[in-house]
Structure 1
Amino acid sequence: MEVRRITITIAGRNYPLNVPSNEEETLRKVGKQIETMIKEFESNFDIRDKQDALAMCALKLGTNAEVVQSTNDKNINASLQRVQHLNKLLEAMEK
């Protein structure tokens, strides 16, 4: 797997990273999302300190990740229940 050296800028700081080439696009996209979020927090909430904006970004991204994980868990459980129900129906048909 090819590793690429890229630089991501967040809150005015450059972060050089060595990343697998298949992750480069995702990292750049997330870096831009963070930059956009920082600008939104700074303009909408009178945030003057970049650290406060970064903390708010971390909180928002963490919350979003938790919501997605919870939704995925619910979907997996619902699918598992459906499959178990179908298995019972198939077993009943075989008898």
Structure 2
Amino acid sequence: MKPQSARQQKLACDACHYMEDVDRLHKGLIGKECPDCQSVMLTAEDYRIAKRAMRKLAILAWLSRMIVRMYPAAGVGTMQVQVKDGQMFSEFHKDKHL
């Protein structure tokens, strides 16, 4: 299993929860059918929201790297973002080993 990175992306089926790793999110994935239940895994609306979120997260990631350089005690963590039915959900988990 490869280490989790800031660019790790997955497509998840809302109907059956099948998950698939993708190298990057792109327009060609819109309308992709789930191999398990044939539901649509990525709608055009969810794609647009996810792309906007990824642009914002790239800026936040850059800012957080600068903060950690200036204040090492601030620590680091992992941000998980999910787009489902036109809404975005996010969670931050601070790394415990720091």
Query: Same fold per TM (> 0.5)?
Result: no
TM-score by length of 2: 0.34
In terms of fraction of residues, the more strand-rich structure is 2
In terms of fraction of residues, the more helix-rich structure is 1
